[in-house]
Amino acid sequence: MHLRDKTKEELVNELQELQKAHHSLQESNNRHVSESRKIELNLRLSEEKFRPCQDKYSRTLGN
């Protein structure tokens, strides 16, 4: 159905549905970005803890 064939009420309803879907996608994206940032931070912290052990082990082996 073309936009010109729809009533004003149908267009308003479709717009509202699209706005709800857009809002839902934004919230989902924000959650994923937040989760990714937490994972990246935990990875960096883990690397910082691991690096001294790795350096000590490498020195012990003479590398």
SS3 14: helix
- Could you tell me which residues come within 8 angstroms of residue 7 by beta carbon, excluding any fewer than 6 positions away? none
The residue type at 5: D
pLDDT of residue 4: 87
- Could you tell me which residues come within 8 angstroms of residue 6 by beta carbon, excluding any fewer than 6 positions away? 14
pLDDT of residue 1: 67
pLDDT of residue 2: 84
Quick one: how far is CA 61 from the chain centroid? Answer: 41
For 9-56, the pLDDT digits (tens) are 999 999 999 999 999 999 999 999 999 999 999 999 999 988 888 777
